[in-house]
Structure 1
Amino acid sequence: MIPVSGSENPQGVKLKISLWAMMVSTAIFVGLRLCCKYIRRRALWWDDYYIIVSWVTLLVSCITTTITINHGFGLHIYEIPVQNMKAVGILGNISGFFSVLAVLSCKVSFAATLLRLTDGWTRRFIWIIIATLVIPGSVSCAFFFTPIAGNAVVLFSIVFGAWSSACDIFLALLPWRILMKFHMYRREKVAVALAMSMGVFAGITGFVKCSTLQSFASGDFSFDGVSLTTWGFAEVACCIMAASIPTLRALFSPETTTNRRMPTLEVNITSGDSGAYDDSQQGRKDDRSDRSILDKRMNSAGASLTSEQTGLHPVSSSSNYEMDRLEAQCGKG
């Protein structure tokens, strides 16, 4: 292949800068997310693994896209050296394949987090969302290696892209309902719900991306597809950062600075009871900002915990303890 200089491909240079800026931003968020897990001595769960997979697949897509840019992607098709055409096409399909995988992984990650906090119809609704993302998403991945008419691909991609973006909105709004089961101050509920609702921006970005999908049927995709590539990366980046924001609260909690272990939060979703019991801090001072509602269930010895035994006020709440649940680490020591 013949390299194409940046001066010959200014649109490609701008695209590279945008993609790598998003990669660095998402790397910071994922890194901080894992750091918070380590600080709070929490094991990684499925939602964390899906986020990692999403970032890695996005990185592969970014690398392959960078290679195609270095060999002509961003130029009009008639400006690309003939020797590069086949390789640019193949690498472009690989990039698109991993980009779709990144989208699916980050959305499933947030859905998996919510699964641990729900029951009943809400839980079933989340499973329906996951199924309607994974199944057509797999078909979308297959399109990159299947000779199907361009118009059919465009139509399917627009429908799936719109549904995928709508799912971001649905998943972003669910925390507002879920938090109603928590005994927290209103300002804490609003703050946590807003943090978990950042996926709305991923949905908005996804809808904008849908408006650029017509470029699939363009006879000059190497030039017209730059906008689609940019917004495709932006959707994944927004999703990864939005899914990581709630976890980052640990960086500002008192337990982070004192290096104390957070108490385990046990949750009975069906009955709506929630509580926390810290077996290492029974006698600690009653701090209004770090208290939680008592667990109304019996402990393993058959004795009922009281506020005098635990040192916790029975009607107060702790945003730190409740965030443990929202981070999908309920019952994980």
Structure 2
Amino acid sequence: MSASSAAAAPSSEATASPIDDYSPQLNGTVWFLTTIAAFFVGLRIYAKLWRQRRLWWDDYFLIAGWISLALSAIALTICTHFDLGKHGRDIKPKNLPLLLFWSYMAGFWSILAAVWSKSSFALTLLSISDGWTRKVVWFILISINLVMGFLAALQWVQCWPIHKLWLGGPGICWMGFKRVRAYNTFVAAYSGSADVVLALLPWQIIWRAKIRRSEKLGALFAMSMGVFAGIASFSKIPTLTAIGNADMITMISLYIVGTAEGAITIMAASIPILRALFHQKTAPTTPSIPSSFKLTQP
């Protein structure tokens, strides 16, 4: 080796850029959120059974939501095995089809986690609402399932044959990336708005209840946790620009916020039930919320 070439070698190594890999941060975050959500669901189910209360539809929907969240986290972990977390230029070509397939799978389960946990909270509200508030809850429950259900289906039916999504090749896509981003943006905005409305509706119900002020404020605080789920939905909108980006490292924020939306909704839906059960256990002799406001179904 000549002196000049020997001198050039360290220079090229020095200018070589390191490979960015955010897979540890992605895995750590999504599994942390999934574990915290599992804690809230488990505590809710334990509290109901401990108080000898039967599980109701809102419980089943919440359990289904957490299972979907866990399946999404598993799919994302598989994605990291196929180089998710790295820049597009650093992803091995042989890994790309499997990475794309499992990323669609993760998105599908993430959407179901969000919609089923939101449905759980709406079902809880149905058990305490009447009149026009009940009609509003029914409208939100049905519409959010239609809007987000279509988004979940869109993960798979936007192209034909379906495998064109991850294998490429001949076929047609009836929705380009711009339309997919636009619909995702609409869904995130609608979902966030629905969360806020569901969080505010209990104010109208609880405020007229003839109960102590401290109990009323505690119930309002517990039932308003859905506002944070709405914030999570709205915060997903800026990350949607990653859809269709050739550099898949831009998807990391979207996956994390998508997981956070489902996890926060699950926690928000669990808190009112936990508070009601805890209140019944610790203060059985104090005036309670009327039977029309019982959060635990028979």
Q: Which TM-score applies when normalising by structure 1?
A: 0.76
The answer to whether the aligner puts 1:29 opposite 2:23 as a matched pair is no
CA RMSD in angstroms comes to: 1.9
Tell me the residue number matched to 1:20.
31
SS of structure 2 residue aligned to 1:144: helix
Equivalent-residue separation in structure 1 for 2:281 and 2:142 (angstroms): 38
Unaligned runs of 5+ in 1: 1-6, 257-288, 293-316
The answer to whether the aligner puts 1:176 opposite 2:187 as a matched pair is no
The answer to whether the aligner puts 1:232 opposite 2:258 as a matched pair is yes
Equivalent-residue separation in structure 2 for 1:22 and 1:98 (angstroms): 15
Deviation at 1:291, TM superposition (A): 4.2
Deviation at 1:187, TM superposition (A): 1.3
Which stretch of the first structure deviates more once superposed, 139-148 or 28-37? 139-148
Taking the TM superposition and a 5 Å limit, the aligned residue runs for 1:40-55 are 40-55=51-66
Equivalent-residue separation in structure 1 for 2:125 and 2:279 (angstroms): 22
Deviation at 1:42, TM superposition (A): 0.3
Tell me the residue number matched to 1:95.
106
Equivalent-residue separation in structure 1 for 2:186 and 2:201 (angstroms): 23
The answer to whether the aligner puts 1:62 opposite 2:97 as a matched pair is no
Tell me the residue number matched to 2:284.
290
Deviation at 1:120, TM superposition (A): 1.6
Identity percentage of aligned residues: 37
Contact 1:50/1:109, CA 8 A, preserved across alignment: yes
Deviation at 1:9, TM superposition (A): 5.5
Distance 1:252 1:113, change over 3 A: closer
The answer to whether the aligner puts 1:206 opposite 2:236 as a matched pair is no
Equivalent-residue separation in structure 1 for 2:213 and 2:276 (angstroms): 20
User: Which consecutive aligned stretches of 4+ in structure 1 deviate over 4 angstroms post-superposition?
Assistant: 250-254
Taking the TM superposition and a 5 Å limit, the aligned residue runs for 1:294-333 are 317-318=287-288, 325-329=293-297, 332=298
Deviation at 1:328, TM superposition (A): 3.8
Unaligned runs of 5+ in 2: 1-17, 160-174
Contact 2:192/2:230, CA 8 A, preserved across alignment: yes
Equivalent-residue separation in structure 1 for 2:254 and 2:106 (angstroms): 12
Contact 1:114/1:328, CA 8 A, preserved across alignment: no
Q: Which TM-score applies when normalising by structure 2?
A: 0.84
SS of structure 1 residue aligned to 2:236: helix
Tell me the residue number matched to 2:155.
144
Deviation at 1:247, TM superposition (A): 2.0
One-letter amino acid of the structure 1 residue matched with residue 260 of structure 2: A
One-letter amino acid of the structure 2 residue matched with residue 118 of structure 1: S
Contact 2:22/2:85, CA 8 A, preserved across alignment: yes
One-letter amino acid of the structure 2 residue matched with residue 290 of structure 1: P
Contact 2:222/2:275, CA 8 A, preserved across alignment: no
Distance 1:254 1:101, change over 3 A: closer
Equivalent-residue separation in structure 2 for 1:252 and 1:109 (angstroms): 20
| 1:101-123 CA-partner distances (Å, limit 9, x unpaired) | 11100000000000111112111
Equivalent-residue separation in structure 1 for 2:91 and 2:131 (angstroms): 55
Taking the TM superposition and a 5 Å limit, the aligned residue runs for 1:69-108 are 69-108=80-119
